[in-house]
């Protein structure tokens, strides 16, 4: 069975600045992978390369075994490769119902129809509402997006992505900026994602990472440093050095609890 | 607002598309000139034509975010086509109108491939440049267009073989108003269609659309073509009701004026162009007189005032006002 | 028949230099501050009227009026920037366009009210009227003067940008505003000075334009279109781009009107469309 998403030998440089070097990874179907690394490691760049916002200098990308390296971004989405954005990229003047209905209509090719009322497409509207309810946005779905609290907007980011019926979902820092009291809903939503979707998420929030990831990829300076199970990564000295700098005696206390040696997690 | 929580999603969307009593009142009020201003029906028909033109610009500017400084090109194309048809023997109004709209639409479709590819300053300049080019072409082709002197010899037949274009403008106003209303209904349907939703998506966040798999460029081409057709209708109406066509129907001044009207009324609200056109044309009729400088001065001040204090135009300001009344 | 070709090139280049002076300020302002100032040519017009007033009412010599044309435009632009423009730095393109067009309308009306709608007559000093003949081709003295002035100013601008501390600050602010602020550069101050400088140059251009194209209230709009063409072809924020584009447009316009007079301004619109479709950001534009 071919991987849901795979890359091979992906390179990208801006002049003398190398942002991606020989990136090779494989995302099996139903995966829950995390991509971590310090700021500037090239994580979002990798997502941009995968989704087609950036063209690689070398290498190839395959979706479900089929090459997509030459395809424009919208076409990749239509084939099931979908992302969310680190900074909310929503429609401020539309409400969630309108936004998700828009996504569903686009998916089903209904968006060209300028002569039909949108209310004629009950199926699309119902599906949009159902998605929003699953993401606990049902009560807010009539308020304009710009009026929603940040955590709710973050959920809408995911709702929009889900409306496209993705096979592969790339979440770019889904928990970023979400206040503590709103993050529980987010966690529930991510936990509830269908096992038919392969998920790769970038995160800095280690609680999130160790809760959901079955495998972790560590990126530093445009390269993949390590890849492994959460236990392996937590124990890896190279990873610890990356997150701490020099390994010093008293530094063990600065480590996130999950990274401390002998910690229990999962 | 709280009733929305109880309504089903379909019901909520249906409610958005329902005719508001103020809308009905507006359209009823457009019948008023017959009784209240019978001496001004010619002006009224010109206002209706300009309002239709402004509506077509709102579709691309207010709903799709295409800033065009050359939209008069389609107005002029419709005008010259209808004028030429009448001049060379076919004075039947309705078919002349359709012909004018068609020509404008075909050119609009061709232009849309260019227009949909650009944004920001490049887009503004390209639309400006294409409009200016068309004016120069029309000027040089004076054997066809009459050049600076305008098109002469446009003679219209009566509508439906019964309604002659009279000096008082009754036929003209009815004709223009009917066309405006029908096109308005079309625009309204477009706004409340899945396509209209996508347009608003493009306007709100063009980056997100391809991330949803949406073919933004194809959508923009479609609305640009539709807007060109509508502008062509307006232009044809002008040619037919005034029995003359001049270069200014294609010119930069007309493109700029309609932009001002739309901003005045408020973009993205369907009625903004209509309201703006009414105010602008009435004011110009009253104030411009023999000193055009006087007019320019006040329009300039008005533009500055609108941008500083009423960024969403008059309708936007009214919407805010009524919202604050409702809250109070 | 090399004579007419050289004549067209010379006249075109001179016209291009005038367009450069008028355009460079707007190109830099748009490229750095992202502020669409369509009242730019109204500042140019102001410079022109300052020169006219000083020469005709106060009988000043032509050269003496030029620094004042520059200063008047620069100061008035700063005034408007403080009072009006800075509130719109975050506003949409359209709002900026409309506000500044409104301002241009008002200035046109004011100019018509004060000076009337006819072209202003001015008398150039005798050594600028007349021509210089080289190898059988005659070159108008005024145009030589115009070219010379523009080249000196271009060298001064480029020199200032490359070799002075202020220039380095401008380049930093253009490249990465946030970083420049983070380094302690007073970015707002830098932009304000560039804005004043650009408007001042426009004012100077307006004064110099009187002899070439005449001055009347419609100047603010007629030349706005040329300026917009130059900056979109040249690329925003680029002095070199403005120079190249102005030369291209100046020569195209003169050549077009000379060889194909029936087509009028056709050629420059065509040039603009071709360039923009090939390079939407302009010949030397970024992003």
Task: Summarize pLDDT for B249-264 with one digit per residue, the tens.
Answer: 888 888 888 988 998 8
Packed helices B252-265 and C93-115: angle between N→C axes, nearest 10 degrees: 120
Q: Interface pTM (ipTM) of the complex?
A: 0.85
pLDDT of residue A131: 93
Q: Which long-range contacts (CB under 8 A, 24 or more apart) does B158-165 make?
A: B159/B93, B159/B94, B160/B94, B165/B240, B165/B241, B165/B243
More confident residue, C11 or C124: C11
Q: What is the pLDDT of residue B323?
A: 76
The pTM of this model reads 0.86
Q: Which residues of C touch B127 (CB under 8 A)?
A: none
State the average pLDDT over residues C31-41. 85
Beta-carbon contacts of A75 under 8 Å, excluding residues fewer than 6 positions away, are A52, A68, B213
Lowest-pLDDT range, B179-188, B222-231, C153-162? Answer: C153-162
Mean pLDDT computed over every residue of chain B: 88
- Please enumerate, as own/partner, the contacts of A154-158 that have beta carbons within 8 Å and a separation of 24 or more: A154/A88, A154/A178, A154/A182, A154/A186, A155/A185, A155/A186, A155/A189, A156/A88, A156/A90, A156/A96, A156/A99, A156/A100, A157/A84, A157/A85, A157/A88, A157/A89, A157/A90, A158/A84, A158/A189, A158/A190
Alpha-carbon distance B241 to nearest alpha carbon in chain C (angstroms): 31
Give the tens place of pLDDT for each residue, B153-185. 888 888 887 788 777 788 899 999 999 999 999
High-pLDDT (> 70) share of chain A, %: 91
For chain C, list the contacting chains (3+ Cβ pairs, <8 Å). B
Q: B197 CB contacts (<8 Å, ≥6 apart)?
A: A94, A98, A101, A102, A105, A111, A118
Quote the radius of gyration of chain B (alpha carbons, Å): 20
The pLDDT tens digits of the residues spanning C118-160 come to: 888 888 888 788 888 887 778 888 898 899 999 999 999 888 8
pLDDT of residue A186: 84
Touching subunits for chain B (3+ Cβ pairs under 8 A)? A, C
Q: How confident is the model at residue C86, as a pLDDT?
A: 83
pLDDT, tens digit, 9 for 90 and up, residues A137-151: 888 899 999 999 988
- The alpha-carbon gap from C154 to the nearest alpha carbon of chain B, in Å, equals 25
The crossing angle, in degrees rounded to 10, of helices C219-234 and C266-278 is 30
Q: In the structure encoding, which two tokens stand for residue B116, read together? A: 């949909």
C61 touches chain B (CB under 8 A): no
**Pairing relationship of beta strands A215-220 and A32-36 according to DSSP bridges:** parallel
Q: Determine, for residues C84 and B304 on separate chains, whether the beta-carbon distance falls below 8 Å.
A: yes
Q: Who among A74, A126, A139 is closest to B213 (CB)?
A: A74
The 8-class DSSP code of residue B163 comes to B
Size of the A and B interface in Cβ pairs below 8 Å:
129
Residue A247 has pLDDT above 70, yes or no: no
Give bridge partners of residue A35 from the DSSP assignment: A202, A217
Average pLDDT, chain C: 87
**pLDDT for position B326:** 67
Q: Which of B158, B146, B135, B121 is nearest to B72 (CA)?
A: B135
SS3 of A220, please?
strand
pLDDT tens column, B116-156: 988 877 888 889 888 988 988 888 888 888 888 888 888 88
| Residue of C25 and C93 predicted with greater confidence | C25
Q: How confident is the model at residue A245 (pLDDT cuts 50, 70, 90)?
A: low
- The 10s digit of each residue's pLDDT in C183-202 is 888 888 888 888 899 999 99
Q: In what order do the strands lie in the sheet with A215-220?
A: A81-83, A168-172, A198-202, A32-36, A215-220, A223-228
The encoded tokens of residue B138 equal 């029309």
What is Dmax (Cα atoms) for chain A? 71
Give residue limits of the domains in chain B.
Answer: 36-251
Q: What is the structure's pLDDT at C23?
A: 93
> Is residue B78 within 8 Å of B233, Cβ to Cβ?
yes
Band of residue C1 on the pLDDT scale cut at 50, 70, 90 = low
- What pLDDT is attached to residue B117? 86
- Asked whether the CA dihedral A42, A46, A47, A52 is positive or negative, the reply is positive
Compute the nearest-CA separation of B1 from chain A (Å): 9
Domains of chain C: 2-278 (1.10.3470)
Read off the pLDDT of each residue in B223-250 and give the average, rounded to a whole number: 94
Burial A158-173 (b: 16+ CB within 10 A, else e): bbbbbbbbbbbbbbbb
* C30, C102, C265 member nearest B304 (Cβ): C102
> Would the CB atoms of B222 and A92 count as touching at under 8 Å?
no
A100 has pLDDT over 90? yes
Give the pLDDT score at C282. Answer: 82
pLDDT > 70 fraction of chain B, expressed in percent and rounded: 95
pLDDT at residue C46 in the model: 94
Burial of residue A65 (CB within 10 Å: 0-12, 13-18, 19+) is: exposed
- Tell me the per-residue pLDDT of B79-105, one tens digit each, with 9 for 90 and over: 999 999 998 888 888 999 999 999 999
- Can you tell me the distance from the alpha carbon of B238 to that of B81, in angstroms, rounded to the nearest whole number? 11
Contact C264 B125 (CB under 8 A): no
Q: What proportion of chain B, given as a percentage, has pLDDT over 90? A: 45
Nearest CB among C95, C232, C263 relative to B122 is that of: C232
What pLDDT, on the 0 to 100 scale, is given for residue B108?
96
pLDDT at A177: 83
Instruction: For C253-282, write each residue's pLDDT tens digit.
Output: 998 888 888 776 788 888 888 888 888 888
Tell me which residues of chain B have a C-beta less than 8 Å from any C-beta of chain C.
Answer: 61, 67, 114, 117-118, 120-122, 124-126, 128-130, 132-133, 136-137, 139-140, 252, 256, 259-260, 263, 293-294, 296-297, 299-304, 306-308, 311
């Amino acid at each position: 069975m071919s991987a849901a998403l795979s890359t091979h030998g992906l390179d990208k440089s801006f002049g003398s600045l190398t942002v991606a070097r020989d990136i090779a990874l494989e995302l099996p179907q139903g995966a829950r992978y995390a991509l971590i690394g310090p700021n500037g490691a090239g994580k979002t760049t990798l997502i941009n390369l995968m989704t087609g916002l950036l063209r690689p200098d070398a290498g190839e990308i395959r979706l479900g075994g089929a090459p997509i390296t030459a395809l424009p971004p919208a076409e990749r989405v239509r084939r099931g490769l979908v992302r969310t954005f680190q900074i909310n990229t929503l429609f401020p003047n539309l409400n969630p119902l309108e936004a998700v209905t828009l996504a569903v209509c686009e998916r089903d090719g209904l968006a060209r129809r300028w002569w039909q009322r949108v209310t004629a497409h009950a199926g699309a509207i119902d599906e949009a509402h159902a998605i929003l309810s699953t993401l606990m946005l049902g009560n807010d779905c009539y308020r304009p997006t710009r009026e929603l609290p940040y955590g709710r907007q973050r959920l809408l980011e995911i709702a929009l992505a889900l409306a496209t019926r993705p096979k592969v979902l790339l979440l770019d820092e889904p928990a970023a900026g979400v206040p503590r009291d709103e993050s529980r809903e987010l966690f529930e939503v991510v936990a509830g994602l269908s096992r038919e979707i392969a998920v790769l998420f970038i995160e800095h929030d280690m609680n999130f990472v160790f809760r959901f990831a079955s495998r972790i990829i560590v990126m530093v300076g445009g390269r993949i440093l390590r890849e492994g199970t959460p236990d392996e990564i937590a124990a890896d000295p190279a990873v610890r050095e990356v997150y701490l700098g020099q390994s010093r005696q008293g530094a063990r206390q600065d480590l996130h609890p999950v990274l401390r040696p002998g910690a229990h997690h999962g | 607002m709280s009733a929305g929580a109880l309504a089903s999603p379909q019901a909520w969307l249906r409610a958005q598309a329902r005719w508001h009593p103020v809308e009905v009142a507006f359209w009823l009020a457009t019948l008023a000139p017959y009784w209240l201003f019978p001496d001004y029906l010619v002006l009224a028909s010109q206002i209706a034509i300009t309002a239709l033109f402004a509506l077509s610009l709102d579709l691309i500017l207010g709903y799709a975010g295409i800033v065009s400084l050359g939209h008069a090109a389609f107005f002029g194309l419709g005008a010259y086509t209808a004028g030429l048809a009448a001049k060379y023997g076919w004075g039947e109004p309705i078919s002349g109108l359709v012909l004018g709209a068609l020509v404008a639409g075909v050119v609009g479709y061709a232009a849309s491939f260019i227009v949909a590819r650009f944004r920001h300053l490049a887009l503004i300049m390209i639309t400006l440049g294409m409009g200016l080019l068309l004016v120069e072409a029309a000027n040089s082709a004076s054997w066809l267009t009459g050049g600076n002197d305008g098109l002469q010899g446009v003679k219209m037949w009566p509508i439906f073989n019964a309604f002659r274009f009279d000096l008082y403008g009754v036929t003209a106003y009815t004709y223009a108003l009917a066309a405006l209303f029908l096109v308005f209904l079309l625009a309204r349907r477009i706004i409340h269609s899945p396509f209209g939703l996508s347009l608003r998506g493009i306007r709100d966040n063009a980056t997100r659309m391809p991330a949803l798999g949406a073919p933004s460029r194809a959508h923009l081409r479609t609305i640009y073509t539709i807007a060109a057709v509508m502008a062509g209708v307006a232009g044809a109406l002008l040619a037919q009701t005034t029995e003359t066509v001049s270069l200014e129907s294609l010119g930069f001044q007309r493109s700029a004026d309609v932009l001002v009207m739309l901003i005045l009324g408020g973009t993205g609200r369907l009625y903004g162009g209509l309201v703006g056109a009414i105010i602008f044309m009435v004011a110009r009729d009253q104030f411009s007189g023999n000193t055009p400088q006087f007019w320019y001065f006040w329009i300039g001040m008005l533009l500055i005032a609108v941008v500083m204090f009423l960024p969403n135009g008059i309708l936007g300001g009214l919407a805010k006002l009524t919202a604050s009344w409702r809250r109070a | 028949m090399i004579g007419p070709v050289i004549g067209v090139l010379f006249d075109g280049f001179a016209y291009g230099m005038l367009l450069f002076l008028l355009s460079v300020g707007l190109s830099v302002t748009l490229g750095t501050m992202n502020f669409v100032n369509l009242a730019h040519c109204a500042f140019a017009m102001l410079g022109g009227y300052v020169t006219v007033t000083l020469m005709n009412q106060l009988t000043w010599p032509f050269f003496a009026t030029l620094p004042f044309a520059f200063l008047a435009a620069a100061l008035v632009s700063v005034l408007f920037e403080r009072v009006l423009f800075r509130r719109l730095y975050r506003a949409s393109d359209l709002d900026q366009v409309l506000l500044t067009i409104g301002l241009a309308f008002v200035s046109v009306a004011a100019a018509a009210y004060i000076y009337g709608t006819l072209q202003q007559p001015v008398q150039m000093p005798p050594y600028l009227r007349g021509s210089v003949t080289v190898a059988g081709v005659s070159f108008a003295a005024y145009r030589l003067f115009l070219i010379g002035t523009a080249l000196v100013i271009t060298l001064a601008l480029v020199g200032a940008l490359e070799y002075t501390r202020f220039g380095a600050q401008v380049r930093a602010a253009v490249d990465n505003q946030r970083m420049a602020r983070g380094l302690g550069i007073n970015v707002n101050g830098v932009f304000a000075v560039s804005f004043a400088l650009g408007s001042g140059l426009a004012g100077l251009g307006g004064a110099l334009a009187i002899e070439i194209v005449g001055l009347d209230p419609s100047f603010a709009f007629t030349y706005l279109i040329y300026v917009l063409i130059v900056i979109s072809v040249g690329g925003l924020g680029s002095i070199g781009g403005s120079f190249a584009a102005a030369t291209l447009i100046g020569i195209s316009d003169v050549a077009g009107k000379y060889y194909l007079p029936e087509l009028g301004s056709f050629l420059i619109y065509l040039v603009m469309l071709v360039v923009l479709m090939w390079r939407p950001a302009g010949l030397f534009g970024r992003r």
